[in-house]
Amino acid sequence: MKSYMVIEPTRFNRIHMNYLSPAYKFYHHQLKDAESDTIAAERTREFCFTHKQTELEDQLAMMEFLYMNDYFTDLEKALEFEYLHSEVKDLYRIVLDRKTTRLTEQDLQEMETMEFEHPSLKCIHLFLLVYAYYDMKKFAGMDKYTEDIQEALFTINEPLFHYFMKLRFDELTFHHYFKTNSLVLARKFAYKYISSGLAPKKQATMHSHLALTYAFEDYETSLEYLKQTKRIADDHNLTAISQSVTENSIPFISAFHHRTENVKTNDPVEIAHLSIARGNPEKAIEILESRSSLSPFQQSYLGLAKKDLALLRDAKHRFVHDNGDMFFAQLPEHYMKRILTIV
């Protein structure tokens, strides 16, 4: 599917869409004519700052475009526009602040008191409520709002904002099913997201997440998605993502599957993990026991290195009860089985 077609409303959605924002019309045109999607996004970014947009729908399309394309500095500037609707400013202040500070129980309670008449404002508000639950590692929180979000999506009357809200829905639903270890459904939403996403950073991130869903069951598939992640990251100068693949994700799946030939990393924790796989648990123990505290991942590595079932049971408890993560709770489970098999 051509890029400009991705943001077009479906025939079904056209029933309730009766407004085209300037940002949508300009972006749609650029996706048709520009040399690349990146150039189209950059030109639309400039457009947002050179054309005053006073209608609420126009402002929401603009703000969501800036956020979903990772133009966070520009979004910060846009929040200072004098003509910005107060409700748009309030909601996107929360959206942007969440990039640096996770939402808390108090934030959730405050947001639950907020009410919005406009359908699009209601939609982004519902997403923020779910994000608060996710930030508190309560991934079942999505269940409470799924129907409301789907109903809200059907009331949005502007296609660019609707496109980004659909992406948000697919991304949130992926994480819900990923963390609850419902992998068939998680992958379904990951594929949907990848097939309709335009922003390179979000594409790379979702490829990385998708790779991890195969981490325990299929080394080759997991590795292939990580290679795709790195290609996207390298093509778009996403250094942090590229380094994370090389230094963390590939060593992690390689150590888990004992496929460690030519695998290198500078990350001490994954060096420890690789050392166990290479038959040198003493080195791993030395590295891990020198740390002041251990994450559930690190505790799992140490439990494997020391063949300590109690450490592994506690790591599983922490994954489930502290992180709300049923998927990675499988890691200490696998390592307990390995120890019991060896014994």
pLDDT digits (tens, 9 = 90+) for 20-43: 999 999 999 999 999 999 999 999
Instruction: Provide the pLDDT for residue 246.
Output: 98
**Those residues with Cβ within 8 angstroms of residue 35's Cβ, 6 or more apart along the chain or in another chain:** none
Say if residues 132 and 116 touch (Cβ distance below 8 Å).
no
Predicted confidence (pLDDT) at residue 296 exceeds the cutoff of 90:
yes
In this structure, the answer to whether residues 38 and 173 fall within a common structural domain is yes
pLDDT digits (tens, 9 = 90+) for 45-100: 999 999 999 999 999 999 999 999 999 999 999 999 999 999 999 999 999 999 99
6, 24, 59, 95 from 85: Cα distances, Å: 28, 19, 8, 15
> Does some domain include residue 258?
no
pLDDT level of residue 14 (50, 70, 90 thresholds)? confident
In this structure, the answer to whether residues 172 and 307 fall within a common structural domain is no
In this structure, the answer to whether residues 292 and 149 fall within a common structural domain is no
User: Could you count the other beta carbons within 10 Å of the beta carbon of residue 101?
Assistant: 9
Provide the number of structural domains found in the chain: 2
In this structure, the answer to whether residues 141 and 288 fall within a common structural domain is no
Domain boundary among 152, 167, 197: 197
Say if residues 103 and 202 touch (Cβ distance below 8 Å).
no
Domain boundary among 158, 180, 197: 197
Domain boundary among 172, 197, 222: 197
> Does some domain include residue 329?
yes
> Does some domain include residue 257?
no
> Does some domain include residue 272?
yes
**Those residues with Cβ within 8 angstroms of residue 41's Cβ, 6 or more apart along the chain or in another chain:** 27, 30, 69, 198, 199
pLDDT digits (tens, 9 = 90+) for 251-279: 999 999 999 999 999 999 999 999 999 99
Instruction: Provide the pLDDT for residue 80.
Output: 95
Which secondary-structure segment (H or E) carries 96? helix 86-97
| pTM, to two decimals | 0.93
Say if residues 98 and 67 touch (Cβ distance below 8 Å).
no
**Those residues with Cβ within 8 angstroms of residue 68's Cβ, 6 or more apart along the chain or in another chain:** 164, 167, 199, 202
In this structure, the answer to whether residues 126 and 46 fall within a common structural domain is yes
As a whole number, mean pLDDT of residues 164-189 equals 96
In this structure, the answer to whether residues 98 and 10 fall within a common structural domain is yes
> Does some domain include residue 190?
yes
Predicted confidence (pLDDT) at residue 2 exceeds the cutoff of 90:
no
Report d(CA 274, CA 286) in Å as an integer.
13
Domain that holds residue 92: 1-197
For the chain, give the percent of residues with pLDDT over 90: 91
Report d(CA 88, CA 274) in Å as an integer.
48
As a whole number, mean pLDDT of residues 290-297 equals 96
In this structure, the answer to whether residues 174 and 35 fall within a common structural domain is yes
Indicate the average pLDDT of the chain. 95
> Does some domain include residue 278?
yes
In this structure, the answer to whether residues 289 and 144 fall within a common structural domain is no
DSSP letters, 257-279, are TT--TT-----HHHHHHHHHHTT
In this structure, the answer to whether residues 29 and 175 fall within a common structural domain is yes
Say if residues 277 and 306 touch (Cβ distance below 8 Å).
no
Say if residues 278 and 260 touch (Cβ distance below 8 Å).
yes
In this structure, the answer to whether residues 321 and 174 fall within a common structural domain is no
In this structure, the answer to whether residues 91 and 6 fall within a common structural domain is yes
pLDDT level of residue 343 (50, 70, 90 thresholds)? low
pLDDT digits (tens, 9 = 90+) for 301-312: 999 999 999 999
Instruction: Provide the pLDDT for residue 102.
Output: 96
> Does some domain include residue 209?
no
> Does some domain include residue 232?
no
Amino acid present at 132? A
In this structure, the answer to whether residues 145 and 279 fall within a common structural domain is no
pLDDT digits (tens, 9 = 90+) for 94-131: 999 999 999 999 999 999 999 999 999 999 999 999 99
Report d(CA 55, CA 158) in Å as an integer.
12
